[in-house]
Structure 1
Amino acid sequence: MKPLPALSPAEQALMDLIWQKQPVSVAALLELVNSDRVEPITRNTLQTQLTRLEAKGWLKHEDGDRVRLYRSAVPEKRGRGKILTELKQRLFGGSGISLVRCLVEEGGLSDTEIKELNELIAKHRKGGKP
């Protein structure tokens, strides 16, 4: 398995949409991307981003009768893990505890999420995979 190149924020946002909606056409993706933008992007801009993601190994496409459908070439769990590793390295010097501490201390976790985190820790201590 070859290493995945880093994603720009715009590419990451596209991957988030693709993981949710795949397989997805350019037209459908363009509508999703522009749904909450003040200045919409063009079809050509989107197509360029998709081509780059495909070249980086994050996406693949299949040609149908009249439409090209895009889907992730990378499972969501692996892709999000890659993104998290980069974020952890860039913002927290590679420290997982610093990342979690920031989430807990800055109010980024709800009581329900903290309870779930405690359950994951307990399960991990017992030898179970989180």
Structure 2
Amino acid sequence: MNKLKLLKPSENELAILQILWEREPATVKEVNEILNQRKPTGYTTTLKLMQIMHEKELVTRTTEGAKGKSHLYSSAVTEKQINGQLLDQFIQRVFRGSASSMVMRTIGRSEISPEEIEEIRNFLDGLDDNPPS
């Protein structure tokens, strides 16, 4: 997969990817059963979504079984890749590209425990020692 390709999974595709990240490979039936625990979803809907995701190169699939009628799906993208791209898109759209505005707004709207504040400080201190490339 081209790493420069902009990944834009829909909300339903993201739900499927999250399932695959936890328990890949999985069949459509297995994914559908987990989706149904959250909200009713038809098998054919899940199948069609996963076929589209295969075309979009979000998932890979292999054939299994004696007659080759069953497919095993795995994610073709990592959770880190998707989270990073979605976060970058969100920062651009909502905060005009300002990560600091997003962080300050998030911290200002949340009740943050002393432990979380310490964790944030440690993270920031780590950036001083190892700035991102």
The sequence identity of aligned pairs, in percent, is 25
Name the SS of the counterpart of 1:24 in structure 2.
coil
Letter in 1 for 2:115: T
SS in 2 for 1:60: strand
Distance 1:2 1:101, change over 3 A: same
Q: 2:7 aligns with which of 5, 8, 11?
A: 5
**Residue 102 of structure 1 corresponds to which residue in structure 2?**
105
Aligned-residue CA RMSD in angstroms? Answer: 1.9
CA positional deviation for 1:34? 0.9
Offset, 1:33: 0.6
What is the number of equivalent residue pairs in this alignment?
A: 127
Give the conservation status (yes or no) of the 8 Å contact 2:7–2:82. Answer: no
Partner of 1:36: 38
* Alpha-carbon separation, structure 2, partners of 1:98 and 1:128: 19
- TM-score, normalising length: structure 1: 0.85
Following TM superposition, by how much is the alpha carbon of 1:108 offset from its aligned partner in structure 2, in angstroms? Answer: 6.4
Cα distance, 1:4 vs. partner?
A: 3.0
Q: Residues 44 and 3 of structure 1: is their aligned pair in 2 closer, same or farther, counting only changes over 3 Å? A: same
* Gap change, CA 1:63 and 1:83, over 3 Å in 2: same
Q: Which amino acid aligns with 1:22?
A: E
- Distance between the aligned counterparts of 2:113 and 2:5, measured in 1? 34
